Amino acid sequence: MAAIANLSINNYAVTPVTYTALGVSNGVARWADVSQGTLAGYREIFLTVKHPKDPVNGVIRVQGKCVRPVIDGTTGALSYKTLGTYEFVIPVKASLAERQEIWAVTKNSMLSSTPLQNGVLQGEIPW
């Protein structure tokens, strides 16, 4: 298993943002963009991997969450947070090729599917 390390993520900025590895606690890995200067303003990424009790017929659950707080420029208080989540449910029996396919379809549908992007960016649903 790889050790937790910093992440470099593109987030619509000109240059990638570095998310500092904050560690793993209770099976949840946590990273944060600490450049905001205030704990309430940290952008965070979380990753959880839950292994099945049944190692033959069970499923592995991979869950992730990205949190983007917005700080009020006048008061310095937290105004609100935007949140993105995902979950993969992968049978232990799934081959590497099947895991790669669900990863690729999910990732690429988010990156290059106009209807899915418009759902998030514009609040639109295709008719």
Mean pLDDT of the chain: 91
Give the integer Cα–Cα distance in Å for 111 and 127. 21
Are residue 70 and residue 122 in the same domain, yes or no? no
Q: Are 3 and 24 in contact (CB under 8 A)?
A: no
Are residue 74 and residue 100 in the same domain, yes or no? no
- pLDDT-derived band of residue 37, with 50, 70 and 90 as boundaries? confident
Number of domains the chain contains: 2
Q: Output the pLDDT for position 76.
A: 87
Are residue 81 and residue 110 in the same domain, yes or no? no
Distance of CA 78 to the CA centre of its chain: 21
Q: Are 87 and 61 in contact (CB under 8 A)?
A: yes
Q: Output the pLDDT for position 1.
A: 63
Q: Output the pLDDT for position 111.
A: 83
Q: Are 34 and 43 in contact (CB under 8 A)?
A: no
Are residue 26 and residue 67 in the same domain, yes or no? yes
Residue given tokens 């499923």 in the structure block: 59
Are residue 57 and residue 90 in the same domain, yes or no? yes
Are residue 43 and residue 81 in the same domain, yes or no? yes
Q: Output the pLDDT for position 35.
A: 87
What's the domain range around 109?
Answer: 95-127
Tell me the mean pLDDT in the region 30-48.
91
Residue 59 lies in a domain: yes
Residue 1 lies in a domain: no
Residue 120 lies in a domain: yes
Q: Output the pLDDT for position 120.
A: 85
Phi, psi of 103 (to 5 degrees): -65, -50
Are residue 108 and residue 51 in the same domain, yes or no? no
Give the integer Cα–Cα distance in Å for 120 and 69. 17
Are residue 61 and residue 79 in the same domain, yes or no? yes
Q: Are 47 and 67 in contact (CB under 8 A)?
A: no
- pLDDT-derived band of residue 19, with 50, 70 and 90 as boundaries? very high
Q: What is the token pair recorded at 58?
A: 């069970």
Per-residue pLDDT tens digits for 71-112: 998 998 999 999 999 999 999 999 999 999 999 999 998 888
Give pTM, 2 decimals: 0.86
Are residue 67 and residue 122 in the same domain, yes or no? no
Give the integer Cα–Cα distance in Å for 65 and 85. 4
